[in-house]
Amino acid sequence: MLVSICMPTYNGERYIAEAIQSALDQTYEDFELLVSDDCSTDLTAEIVHEFARRDKRIVYWRNESRLGLFPNYNECMTQCKGDLIKPFAQDDLLSPKAVELMVSAYKNNNVALVCCGKTILNDSPVSFSEVVETVLPPGLSTGRAVIEQSLKSYRNLIGEPVTVLFDAKRVGKGFSENYYSLGDLEFWFRILQKSDAYYLPEELVTFRQHPESTTFKKLEDMTWVLDFFRLGKEYSSYLERLGISEEEFFVGFLERAGELIDRLVTSSELNVKNLGGFKEVAFYSMRRAAQLAAKARAYDALVNSTSWRITAPLRYIKTRIENNAQFDRKL
């Protein structure tokens, strides 16, 4: 069963050699590695050509003009010959048995998509664990359950492209170009609307974090806020089954996003000095919403605590004494 490993690239000279080598080191050897170069201006082409000279499974081409990440992924998938597609990235890594184990899970469980655990390699001052954490239960999950739980938790429970392998017949239109940064999650949703997923908890891939990565840039430019709103509208039927209105979904997301922003700002890992207009408004609004929500939760926890109930008589007596003292002073 041929696997097409799709690697869109742009100015990837820093990490791409290590990424390609990890693909070539796979114990599963029936694959093609497609490298779609989005008009790199560095040494990416020279590095890939050297690997291709030594291994004919590598297919390289250069786009005529810049496409952008998701359109470049789609361009790469149009050239695939495989039965299965394994998205990859120029700065990520595959463990030697990644493809073998994911193909085996696909064959043995009659699913359309397989995803796996990951190791995070942090070359960045910012930790994205709150954004990219995968928490699906091990084994088989229905597509509906994955979509609903992802929406309910405001998380990409499936994972980034490097964590996924899927049936080539499910490509459809590929990654939606209407999304800024959540095009992968929306694509997984479409694949899973009429099929199931299988999660391998083993950390079979490495997701690299660094300031030049798309994940880092999208976190800073706030476009992921718009993406979640769009996702909620497009998949509102799933929210309805969960008993969640669109407004509740949006408000919940703003609180969740604000918590992340507040944590990053408090730890000096993120700032908004270059933001303006909507982005700046969204930044401060979500951060403040999260702070107010945290205070509300702390108050609710206090008034519902055992210690608060036990000390209620004392507070009552204290209030009466203070009121009587004020009355006496007026007299």
pLDDT tens digits, 192-219: 999 999 999 999 999 887 555 455 455 5
CATH topology (fold) of 3-219: Spore Coat Polysaccharide Biosynthesis Protein SpsA; Chain A (3.90.550)
- Cβ contacts of residue 272 below 8 Å, gap of 6+? 279, 280, 283, 284
Radius of gyration of the chain (CA): 25
Q: What are the residue ranges of CATH 3.90.550.10 in the chain?
A: 3-219
CA 152, 264, 261, 199: dihedral to nearest 10 degrees? -20
Average pLDDT, the chain: 83
Q: Does 157 have pLDDT greater than 50?
A: yes
- In this prediction, residues 219-245 reach a mean pLDDT of 86
pLDDT score at 195:
96
pLDDT score at 259:
74
- Of 47, 55, 42, nearest in space to 5 by CA: 55
Alpha carbons 92 and 133: distance in angstroms, whole number: 16
Q: Does 79 have pLDDT greater than 90?
A: yes
- In this prediction, residues 67-87 reach a mean pLDDT of 96
Residue indicated by tokens 């089954």? 241
Question: b/e for 101-140, b at 16 or more Cβ within 10 A?
Answer: bbbebbeeeebbbbbbbbeeeeebebebeebbebebeeee
Higher pLDDT: 285 or 244? It is 244
- In this prediction, residues 174-200 reach a mean pLDDT of 94
- Cβ contacts of residue 290 below 8 Å, gap of 6+? 255, 256, 257, 258, 259, 261, 262
Bridge partners of residue 113, in order along the sequence: 166, 197
Higher pLDDT: 299 or 171? It is 171
SS3 sequence of the chain: CCEEEEEEECCCCCCHHHHHHHHHCCCCCCEEEEEEECCCCCCHHHHHHHHHHHCCCEEEEECCCCCCHHHHHHHHHHCCCCCEEEECCCCCEECCCHHHHHHHHHHHHCCCEEEEEEEEEECCCCCCHHHHCCCCCCEEEEHHHHHHHHHHHCCCCCCCHHHEEEEHHHCCCCCCCCCCCCHHHHHHHHHHCCCEEEEEEEEEEEEEECCCCHHHHHHHHCHHHHHHHHHHHHCHHHHHHCCCCHHHHHHHHHHHHHHHHHHHHHCCCCCCCCCCCHHHHHHHHHHHHHHHHHHHHHHHHHHCCHHHHHCHHHHHHHHHHHHHHHHHHHC
CB 176 within 8 A of CB 88: no
pLDDT score at 127:
46
pLDDT score at 310:
55
Percent of the chain with pLDDT over 90: 60
The token pair at 216 is 């880092």
Q: Does 75 have pLDDT greater than 60?
A: yes
- Maximum CA extent, the chain: 99
Q: Does 319 have pLDDT greater than 70?
A: no
- In this prediction, residues 221-240 reach a mean pLDDT of 87
Q: Does 5 have pLDDT greater than 70?
A: yes
| 89-141 tens-digit pLDDT | 999 999 999 999 999 999 999 999 999 999 988 765 444 444 445 579 999 99
pLDDT score at 131:
41
pLDDT score at 47:
98
β pairing state of 113-122 and 164-167: antiparallel
Q: CB atoms < 10 A from the CB of 229, how many?
A: 15
| 237-262 tens-digit pLDDT | 999 999 999 888 988 887 777 776 66
- In this prediction, residues 41-59 reach a mean pLDDT of 98
pLDDT score at 308:
47
